[in-house]
């Protein structure tokens, strides 16, 4: 009997020890999983809350820290009129160098030259050439690799690697509209966009019979397919597609159509009209109404999680009577419109009031809003207008956030 009790006791102790060891291993594995989850969450958080961006300030490349609202110089103080992007590993920034030559007034020769393109090491200041033929107007890096698409002053489209190798023209001259950085505004925004998968590039095109005049006169949207090394025009019979605003997803492009119509050049007549406003254009050229546009200019658009956020100015006047002296005294409010999906959008919401006419505003790369207040200071706010951050006085326009 005694031996049986001892045996049971030993078996019980073995069972308890086994359970403790098993439970410890489980807790360890759970802890490792939790650490992995935390690291994954932290990685997502870092992606969503990135706050250090390269910018050009006074023709000098600098790093802007939105958390501390401070600037730091890159060694060597490299010159840069515009910062066009960063390398995939974040070690290099892509900048313009030199001064563009601009002809007086819109014409096919509106830009007589462009910039050179360089890459600069953010830690050492080392500056290496990418494109040096003084031909670059805008440049955007692929979201998947260190491949750069750029538009020339002759309105052609080129590809080049970050190290300057394999430079090649993929769209002939006199076709590509690059955006308002061409127009010479205080800020540059390339109206050429990579798809999220890095396999396609979309941009607006000039009409086939374009002979100068209105630089915004457009005809359709062009699509370049990298893998196939081919391009096609989507909806080429739709005139006055103001510009491409970005990719809604990998198979659909967001465009803004102003004064649109389908025109038959042989008959010399309008066949039908389309609704003005934002449209979704698929890869086959089918155009579907997405939501209304608004009078005046549309400042910028942000596409995130199948929602579209649009910044628009609302003009206010002291008087509605054109014969009243106060009629020409006006100011603007910064508004945001949210398109939840096709044919479902919110009413415009005012974020900031009483701004000067022609104020600057854009979305930042991390999904916030930057605007110019009445004192000429740049301010960062959240999408709902909260948490304003006034940037230092030495950060002045022009400013361009690389995408």
CATH code at 327?
A: 2.40.10
Check residue 178 and give its pLDDT. 64
Say which residue, 145 or 301, is predicted with more confidence.
145
Mean of the per-residue pLDDT values of the chain: 77
Neighbours of 57 (CB within 10 A): 19
Partners of residue 119 on adjacent β-strands: 94, 128
Task: Characterize the bridge pairing of strands 287-291 and 344-345.
Answer: unpaired
In a domain, 205, yes or no: no
**In terms of Cα–Cα distance, which of 144, 137, 149 is closest to 177?**
137
Residue 274 confidence (pLDDT) = 60
State how far the Cα of 403 lies from the Cα of 383, in Å rounded to an integer.
Answer: 18
Structure-token match 């308002």, residue found: 180
Q: How confident is the model at residue 37 (pLDDT cuts 50, 70, 90)?
A: very low
pLDDT of 183 > 70? The answer is no
pTM equals: 0.77
The stretch 316-329 carries a mean pLDDT of 67
* Residue 74 belongs to some domain of the structure: no
Q: What is the mean pLDDT of residues 377-402?
A: 84
Residue 339 inside a domain? The answer is yes
163 or 340: which leads in pLDDT:
163
Residue 33 has pLDDT above 50, yes or no: no
Residue 309 pLDDT greater than 50, yes or no: yes
pLDDT confidence tier of residue 40, bands split at 50, 70 and 90: very low
Whose CA is closest to 401, among 72, 154, 57?
57
Residue 60 covered by a domain = no
pLDDT for 32: 42
Across 181-194, b (16+ Cβ under 10 Å) vs e yields bbeeeebbbbbbbb
Residues forming a β-bridge with 131: 117
Residue 364 inside a domain? The answer is yes
**pLDDT for residue 206 is more than 60:** yes
Sign of CA dihedral 122, 125, 126, 129: positive
pLDDT mean over 179-189: 45
DSSP 249-308: ETTEEEEEEEEEEEEETTTTEEEEE--SEEEEEETTS-EEEEE---SS---EEEEETTEE
Share above pLDDT 90 across residues of the chain, in percent, rounded to a whole number = 26
The range of the structural domain enclosing residue 398 comes to: 296-403
**pLDDT by residue (tens digit) across 90-113?**
999 999 988 777 766 555 556 778
pLDDT at 184 over 50: no
pLDDT band at residue 194 under the 50/70/90 scheme: very high
d(CA 360, CA 155): 26
Residue 240 has pLDDT above 90, yes or no: no
307: which 2 tokens? 């929602």
User: Is residue 310's pLDDT more than 70?
Assistant: yes
Number of domains in the chain: 1
Q: What is the pLDDT of residue 39?
A: 35
Nearest to 61 by CA among 148, 125, 139: 125
Look at residue 303 and tell me if it is in a domain: yes
3-state secondary structure of 116: strand
In a domain, 313, yes or no: yes
Q: How far is CA 259 from CA 195, 275, 290, in A?
A: 26, 8, 16
Position 402 pLDDT exceeds 70? no
Q: Find residue 71's DSSP bridge partners.
A: 64
Residue 105 lies in a domain: no
> What is the tens place of the pLDDT at every residue in 262-280?
666 666 666 555 667 788 8
135: its two tokens:
């031909």
Give the pLDDT score at 70. Answer: 82
pLDDT at 47 over 90: no
């Amino acid at each position: 009997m005694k031996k049986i009790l001892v045996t049971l006791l030993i078996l019980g102790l073995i069972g308890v020890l086994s359970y403790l060891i098993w439970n410890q291993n489980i807790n360890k594995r759970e802890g490792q999983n939790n650490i992995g989850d935390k690291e994954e969450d932290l990685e997502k958080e870092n992606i969503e809350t990135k706050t250090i961006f390269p910018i050009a300030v006074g023709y000098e490349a600098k790093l802007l820290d939105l958390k501390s609202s401070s600037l730091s110089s890159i060694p060597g103080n490299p010159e840069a009129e515009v910062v066009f992007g960063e390398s995939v590993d974040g070690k290099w920034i892509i900048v313009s160098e030199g001064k563009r030559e601009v002809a007086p007034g819109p014409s096919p020769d509106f830009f007589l030259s462009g910039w050179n393109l360089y890459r600069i090491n953010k830690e050492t200041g080392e500056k290496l050439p990418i494109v040096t033929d003084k031909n670059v107007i805008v440049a955007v890096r692929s979201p998947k690799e260190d491949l750069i698409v750029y538009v020339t002053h002759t309105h052609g489209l080129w590809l080049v690697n970050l190290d300057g190798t394999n430079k090649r023209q993929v769209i002939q001259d006199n076709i590509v509209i690059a955006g308002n950085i061409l127009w010479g505004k205080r800020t540059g925004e390339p109206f050429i966009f990579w798809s999220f998968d890095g396999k396609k590039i979309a941009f607006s095109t000039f009409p086939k019979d374009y002979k100068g005049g209105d630089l915004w006169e457009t005809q359709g949207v062009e699509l370049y397919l990298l893998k196939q090394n081919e391009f096609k025009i989507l909806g080429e019979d739709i005139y006055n597609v103001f510009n491409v605003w970005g990719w809604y997803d990998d198979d659909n492009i967001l465009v803004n159509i102003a004064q649109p119509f389908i025109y038959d050049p042989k008959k010399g007549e309008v066949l039908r009209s389309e609704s003005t406003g934002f449209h979704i254009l698929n890869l086959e050229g089918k155009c579907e109404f997405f939501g209304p546009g608004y009078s005046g200019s549309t400042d910028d658009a942000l596409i995130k999680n199948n929602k579209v956020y649009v910044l628009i100015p609302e003009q206010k006047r002291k008087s509605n009577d054109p014969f009243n002296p106060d009629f020409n005294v006006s100011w603007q409010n910064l508004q945001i419109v949210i398109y939840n999906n096709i044919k479902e959008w919110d009413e415009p919401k005012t974020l900031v009031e009483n701004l000067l006419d022609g104020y600057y505003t854009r979305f930042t790369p991390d999904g916030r809003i930057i605007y110019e207040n009445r004192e000429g200071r740049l301010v960062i706010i959240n999408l709902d207008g909260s948490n304003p951050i006034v940037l230092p006085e030495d950060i002045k326009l022009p400013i361009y956030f690389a995408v």
